[in-house]
């Protein structure tokens, strides 16, 4: 899942970016709304974490204007303004959730996960295919009842494949949803993660390569040569 973090305080921005990446999210960041607008025009984010008070002013106003264009990405507002009128103003302006400062990193991660599921059509907490199981709340993956240890990127790629199981997923789609803006789309990062993921999933193979198109989490058949 790809997240945009908009926070002007550098230390807090670095801390939140590190926390979200540690939870397995691909994270881009901006220090003010004009910079965020550029990223929003380039990328379809699964969730936006937005500090309310930015150098350019209250971010609710440009958020409201963007909502009027039909933009629908879920937004979690972070703010020290936590009175009832402040929260109501946030929701009326287009925020989907509201988290007052200070907050625990664990709560932020869980709220981002919840908004991501909502944006993806209220995906279930539990995803499955054949004997493969994923608990997105606990971030646990098992096959045939055996718990697997995956890296953050392996987990993110597998989650995307499970969401789109029985559908061919392109390399471009994986990069857009599982990596941040620093990823090189022509590098072999996808292939390297896919190789590790296949090794950990074991036999029979669940992830097939569809030559010239991408990857398919489908029936347990051998990969195309």
Q: What is the pLDDT of residue 70?
A: 81
Residue boundaries of the structural domains of the chain: 2-119, 126-217
The answer to whether domain 2-119 and domain 126-217 are alike in fold is no
Q: What is the pLDDT of residue 223?
A: 43
Q: Which two tokens stand for residue 211?
A: 């030559």
pLDDT digits (tens, 9 = 90+) for 1-44: 889 999 999 999 999 999 998 888 889 999 999 999 999 988 88
Q: What is the pLDDT of residue 185?
A: 54
Class of domain 126-217: mainly alpha
**Measured torsion, CA atoms of residues 9, 12, 14, 15, in degrees rounded to the nearest 10:** 180
C-alpha–C-alpha distance, residues 66 and 89, integer Å: 16
Superfamily of domain 2-119: Response regulator (3.40.50.2300)
pLDDT digits (tens, 9 = 90+) for 141-187: 999 999 999 988 899 899 889 988 888 898 888 888 888 766 665 56
pLDDT digits (tens, 9 = 90+) for 96-119: 999 998 899 999 999 998 888 776
C-alpha–C-alpha distance, residues 53 and 43, integer Å: 23
Q: Which two tokens stand for residue 9?
A: 């305080």
């Amino acid at each position: 899942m790809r997240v945009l973090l908009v926070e002007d305080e550098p230390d807090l921005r670095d801390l939140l970016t590190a926390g979200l990446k540690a939870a397995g999210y691909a994270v881009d960041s901006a220090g003010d709304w004009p910079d965020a607008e550029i990223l929003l025009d380039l990328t379809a984010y699964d969730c936006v974490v937005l500090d309310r008070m930015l150098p350019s002013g209250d971010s609710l106003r440009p958020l409201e204007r963007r909502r009027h264009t039909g933009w629908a990405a879920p937004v979690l507002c972070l703010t020290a303004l936590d009175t009832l009128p402040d929260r109501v103003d946030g929701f009326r302006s287009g925020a989907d959730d509201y988290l007052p400062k200070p907050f625990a990193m664990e709560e932020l991660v869980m709220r981002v996960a919840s908004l991501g599921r909502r944006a993806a059509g209220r995906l279930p907490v539990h995803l499955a295919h054949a004997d493969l199981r994923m608990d997105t709340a606990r971030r646990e993956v098992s096959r045939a009842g055996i718990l697997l240890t995956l890296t953050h990127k392996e987990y993110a790629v597998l989650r995307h494949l499970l969401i789109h199981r029985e559908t061919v997923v392109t390399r471009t789609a994986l990069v857009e949803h599982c990596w941040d803006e620093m990823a090189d789309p022509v590098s072999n990062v996808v292939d390297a993660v896919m190789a590790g993921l296949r090794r950990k999933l074991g036999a029979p193979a669940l992830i097939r390569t569809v030559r010239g198109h991408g990857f398919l989490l489908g029936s347990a058949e051998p990969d195309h040569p």
